[in-house]
Amino acid sequence: MEYNHRDIESRWQQQWKKDNTYKTEIDNSRKKYYVLDMFPYPSGAGLHVGHPLGYIASDIYSRFKRLQGFNVLHPMGYDAYGLPAEQYAIQTGQHPEKTTNDNIKRYKEQLEKIGFCYDWSRELRTCDPGYYKWTQWAFERMFESYYDTKLNKAMPIKSLIEHFEKEGSKGVNAASGRELTFTADEWKQMSEKEQSDVLMNYRLAYLGNTMVNWCPALGTVLANDEVSEGVSLRGGYPVEQKLMYQWCLRVSAYAQRLLDGLETIDWTPSLKETQRNWIGRSEGAEMKFKVDGNDDVVMEIFTTRADTVMGVTFMVLAPESKYVDQLTTPEQRAEVDEYINSIKHKTERERMIEKKVTGVFTGSYAINPLTGKKIPVWVSDYVLAGYGTGAIMAVPAHDSRDYAFAKKFNLEIIPLIEGADVSEESFDAKSGIMMNSNGGELNLNGLEVKDAIKKAKEFVEEKGIGKVKVNYRLRDAIFSRQRYWGEPFPVYYKEGIPHLLSEDKLPLLLPEVDKYLPTETGEPPLGRAKNWVTEEGYPLELCTMPGFAGSSAYYLRYMDPHNSEALVSKEADEYWRNVDLYIGGTEHATGHLIYSRFWNKFLYDLGVVVEEEPFKKLINQGMIQGRSNFVYRIKDTNTFVTLGKKDEYDVTPIHVDVNIVSNDVLDQEAFKKWRPEYATAEFITEDDGRYVCGWAVEKMSKSMFNVVNPDDIIEKYGADTLRLYEMFLGPLEQSKPWDTNGIDGVNRFLRKLWGLYWKGGEWLVDDSEPSKESLKSLHKLIKKVTQDIENFSYNTSVAAFMICVGELASQKCHSRKVLEPLLILLAPFAPHITEQLWHDLGNTTTICDAQWPECNEEYLVEDTKTYPVQVNGKVRYNVVAPASATQAEVQEIALSNEAAAKWLDGKEPRKVIVVPGRIVNIVL
């Protein structure tokens, strides 16, 4: 029997499906292990070879853990809501659900061919009402909660209302949009609408007027992580800032816990760093500045450099700051208004690109609380309204932005650090010795910056000039999208006040609409739905939820996917707990991976889940880039010249379909058939007649003709070869180009493996005792592969298999005692071929129920001997070396390295390991 991947793979895939081989149940007698892939958005283009990389890695780990006796949960599903399906719907009128389902069908077919051990009975889709019911449910729980900053957890909004009724806002410890002060009586006298507005200031899911990223081309709002450099991540359309009344999630309340949680999880340093940057914690002080001749206003500013207060030579307000209006003097009014207007007309992007230093004087002066000095207050757009208090104290000597501003408007610059030259640029570093900082009561001169910051903060707090404050860059997540294809909000409006739909009305189904475009009056697409009202006739919310809503808790749903009573049952949650290993791309670092952690912490506060962090260990697989091929056409002809001769002509490189190129050699006939205009193509080839193409690494995309489809690879080489090859390509976490060139080597390896068991239709395996050599080969492999899988170093594992199979072949090893464990080791990587040979060996159960073999170190021990080494005729050292070495050899080598001999001389006898040529290892 010859190795035939087509027969073997389809046979076992069908068998596994029939036998429910990979179905997983709760089993309290076994330890659980949860391996999760980031579920895909099923795009219309289908999978290319880059997509399964992470899935193969997680599949190997799942199978490995299973062989080690763990009860492994390994599910798959689809992130089904998304913009492409909606845009396709707008163009074609086809319902996005239809498009999505078609794409999912295609994805599933492609995935099944690769031979993954998913428990498909747990498959989920975010657009399934049985699923999004729980997305809506979680939103309702957030609406009904506030964040208690003292208890550091989410609490029911009811208890806040009770507090308001008793004591008003006094003594409230709640994360909020702005600080409100009112008495119990005032609360009671508020109208329903007013009370609703007050509560919105505290709810974890709230309606708020916020500056949003509005994308006119897409007709919707985008979250911060969906925007990069002023354009939308999807489509690259310009994005502008707009004030809108939107649903938001108070993610900022969890900033510190999101930061602290990073210490408890096993993620890569770079990913943690990305999240830390995104959360952007900075410790500083909020300080109060009085205004000269205006006792009504006290300016509050935020600074991380309280120590530089003696060097403040001006103040700056953000154009949107509330202080602008209060501090502008009548003489300056016209100028300030003109400036503010000129800013408003520019988009965020324009402001960023221009980077011009602009600003205007308000006419007012603040008073330095320490020196009593009068300092001018300016307005400039380099200060952001959304961070801190929207106002800063400027220290030009030690902040480059303040410095640029001071230079432009000729403002004073006072250096505060000894030896810092500020004549050309500012000195921003937080180090050095302070000077010019004697403010009477507070003298910082002579202190190191760090100590000065500390002392200044203490002083400020003591004197009531300000208070120590921690600020975060992390913003609340904007949760409304003006789109059709997403989860509807379970919210209706009664006299303009939002109310939740009662829980028994969930899920609120997405209505049908005639078109997927906004209405003529500019309302979101749901405005087209007929009867989009409650039973009582109240209008329902017209926005839908963003993409990250459905992906924020999907890992919990897999634990108990068919439960109609709860997101996840207590039993399932307590058994499966959280994801042990999560594999996916880095692109979700500041999106999904923040929102999911937030969502999970919220559910943890509610007592719905037992683990505070959802993903214990996370691996980022690298991106697979495309490897494009080029042919070189001689200008104005239909003649193509090979790579080696192209410099002799005037040529234009043209992308050529990589599927008609093999090892960079063009299939000339296929090229002629590829495009009608090339039918008459002529070639100038290398001297041996081959046409060699050029190549470059680019993004894998249709327009570069470098997309490699896994189906084609599987058809030609089989899924096992594809799996092994993807792992062999290089380290999992590294990005690398796809290059089909090396795949033959892996395929050859599988055929060699087959050759250990079958040759010319004859079964070779017997029950003979294996040789010592063969046992050594096997146990070396067991050790290496076990270690490598734990370290996700799959490329070196594959190499180890190649070496081992080569050794066993040359040893003519046919012993079942070696060849059976070999299959188990390889099973995670190449499940089909190993399953087949496993059954050929006479086993009746599936190979994934086998037991992972243990390494017996005894087989690996090299025979060594201890050699006495003489120095000046006396035995001074005992040297351990291979038994095959001679006494003279060891003696010579040990003393040949003069430095080593000197180092050894005079020391107590100790062991030195020697290999031919040099001292290799000194065992102390």
Question: Which residues from 7-66 bind RNA, rule CB under 7 A?
Answer: none
Q: In this chain, which of 334, 384, 470, 509 binds RNA, going by CB under 7 A?
A: 384
- Of 28-36, 327-335, 439-447, 799-807, the segment contacting RNA by CB under 7 A is 799-807
Among 97, 112, 300, 428, binds RNA (CB under 7 A): 428
Nearer to RNA, 251 or 919 (CB): 919
396 counts as binding RNA under rule CB under 7 A: no
Pattern 189-228, RNA, x by CB under 7 A: ------------------------------------x--x
* Cα separations in angstroms, 201 against 160, 183, 250, 602: 12, 16, 10, 18
* 9: three-class secondary structure by DSSP: helix
Closer residue to RNA in complex, CB, 458/574: 458
Q: How far apart are CA 74 and CA 62, in angstroms?
A: 7
Report how far residue 76's alpha carbon sits from residue 58's, in angstroms, rounded to the nearest whole number: 11
Instruction: Label residues 675-685 b or e (16+ Cβ within 10 Å = b).
Output: eeebeebebbb
Candidates 171, 269, 522, 676: give the one binding RNA (CB under 7 A): 269
- Separation in Å, CA 211 to CA 160, 380, 623, 761: 27, 18, 34, 73
State the minimum distance, in angstroms, from the CB of residue 347 to RNA: 12
Which residue, 53 or 124, has its beta carbon nearer to RNA?
Answer: 53
Identify which of residues 388 and 561 has a Cβ nearer to RNA in the complex.
Answer: 388
Closer of 335 and 744 to RNA (Cβ): 744
Tokens for 678, please give them. Answer: 């090339």
817 contact partners, CB below 8 Å, separation of at least 6 = 767, 769, 770
Q: Which of 182, 387, 409, 649 binds RNA (CB under 7 A)?
A: 387
Segment interacting with RNA, rule: CB under 7 A, options 128-136, 275-283, 290-298, 518-526: 275-283
Applying CB under 7 A, the span of 383-391, 445-453, 524-532, 708-716 interacting with RNA comes to 383-391
When binding is defined by CB under 7 A, the residue of 681, 799, 880, 885 that contacts RNA is 799
- Tell me which of 861, 883, 888, 899 binds RNA, using CB under 7 A: 899
Least distance in angstroms from the C-beta of 616 to RNA:
20
Question: CA angle, corner 144, sides to 140 and 147, nearest 5?
Answer: 120
Among 382, 427, 492, 640, binds RNA (CB under 7 A): 382
Q: Check if the beta carbon of residue 401 is closer than 8 Å to that of residue 378.
A: no
Residues numbered 315-374 forming contacts with RNA, rule: CB under 7 A: 318, 351-352, 354-356
Kindly tell me which of 273 and 503 has the beta carbon lying closer to RNA. Answer: 273
Stretch that binds RNA, among 118-126, 332-340, 595-603, 801-809 (CB under 7 A): 801-809
Least gap, CB of 353 to RNA (angstroms): 9
Binders in 734-753 for RNA, by CB under 7 A:
734, 736, 739, 741-742, 744-746, 748-749, 751-752
**634-673 residues near RNA, rule: CB under 7 A:** 663
* Binding of residue 916 to RNA (CB under 7 A): yes
**Quick check: 589 and 654 in contact, CB under 8 A?**
no
3-state secondary structure of 700: coil
- Given the complex with RNA, which of 806 and 909 has the nearer CB atom? 806
Using rule CB under 7 A, residue 798 touches RNA:
yes
Residue for token pair 């937030």: 598
Largest CA distance in the chain: 107
Q: How many CB atoms lie within 10 A of CB 337?
A: 14
d(CA 331, CA 222) in angstroms, rounded, equals: 41
Position among 132, 146, 302, 323 found at the interface with RNA (CB under 7 A): 302
Where in 716-735 is the site for RNA (CB under 7 A)?
728-731, 734
- Per DSSP, the three-state class of 294 is strand
783 lies in the binding site for RNA (CB under 7 A): no
Task: List binders of RNA among 812-871 (CB under 7 A).
Answer: none
Please say which residue, 157 or 729, places its beta carbon nearer to RNA.
729
Which amino acid is residue 589, in one-letter code? A
- In whole angstroms, give the CA distance from residue 226 to residue 478: 11
Tell me whether residue 388 or residue 821 sits nearer to RNA (CB atom).
388
Whether residue 490 contacts residue 260, with contact meaning beta carbons closer than 8 Å, is answered with no
Q: Looking at beta carbons only, is 382 or 671 nearer to RNA?
A: 382
Size of the site for RNA (CB under 7 A): 77
**Exactly one of 796, 811, 843, 887 binds RNA (CB under 7 A); which one?**
796
Q: Binders of RNA among 59-98, rule CB under 7 A?
A: none
532 binds RNA (CB under 7 A): no
Q: 616-644 as b/e, with b when 16 or more CB fall inside 10 Å?
A: bebbbbbbbbbbbbbbbbbeeeebbbbbe
Task: Give dist(CA 332, CA 343) in Å, integer.
Answer: 17
Among 284, 439, 525, 710, binds RNA (CB under 7 A): 284
Rg (CA), the chain: 35
Among 15, 121, 277, 768, binds RNA (CB under 7 A): 277
Q: Which stretch binds RNA (CB under 7 A): 394-402, 541-549, 820-828, 851-859?
A: 394-402
Q: DSSP 3-state assignment of 779?
A: helix
Q: Tell me the residue type at 269.
A: P
Closest distance of CB 200 from RNA, Å: 23
**Nearest-angstrom CA–CA distance, 36 and 592:** 14
Residue with the two structure tokens 């997983």: 24
- Span 617-636, contacts to RNA by CB under 7 A: none
User: Could you say which DSSP state residue 371 is in?
Assistant: T
Cβ closest to RNA, residue 228 vs residue 878: 228
CB of 423 to RNA, least distance (A): 18
Regarding 4 and contact with RNA (CB under 7 A), the answer is no
List all residues 6 or more positions away from 66 whose beta carbon is below 8 Å from its beta carbon. 72, 117, 848
- The distance of closest approach from Cβ of residue 431 to RNA in the complex, given in angstroms and rounded to an integer, is 11
Q: What letter represents residue 282's amino acid?
A: S
| Binding track over 586-615 against RNA, x by CB under 7 A | x--xx-------------------------
Distance CA 277, CA 330 (A): 42
Distance CA 136, CA 145 (A): 14
Smallest separation (angstroms) from RNA to the CB of 215: 17
- Which distant-in-sequence residues (6+ apart) come within 8 Å of 744 by Cβ? none
Least Cβ distance, residue 590 to RNA (angstroms) = 5
Ranges within 550-589 binding RNA (CB under 7 A): 586, 589
Return the number of the residue (472 or 604) whose C-beta is nearest RNA.
Answer: 472
Comparing CB distances to RNA, the nearer of 399 and 580 is 399
Q: Where are the beta strands (DSSP E) in 485-558?
A: 491-494, 497-500
Cα of 618 vs its chain's centroid, Å: 9
Tell me which stretch binds RNA (CB under 7 A): 60-68, 359-367, 393-401, 609-617. 393-401
Q: Report the C-alpha gap between 231 and 215 in whole angstroms.
A: 8
Among the listed residues 152, 851, 866, 897, the single contact to RNA using CB under 7 A? 897
Stretch that binds RNA, among 113-121, 193-201, 205-213, 268-276 (CB under 7 A): 268-276
Tokens standing for residue 194? 């007013």
- CA 920 and chain centroid, separation: 43
DSSP string, 635-685: TTSSEEE-GGGGGGS-EEEEEE-GGGEETTEE-HHHHHHHSGGGTT-EEE-
Site string for RNA, 470-499 (x = CB under 7 A): -x-x--------------------------
- Residue 701 sits at φ, ψ, to 5 deg, of -155, 155
Based on the shown chain and the rule CB under 7 A, indicate whether residue 890 belongs to the binding site for RNA. no
The C-alpha atoms of residue 867 and residue 853 are separated, in whole angstroms, by: 36
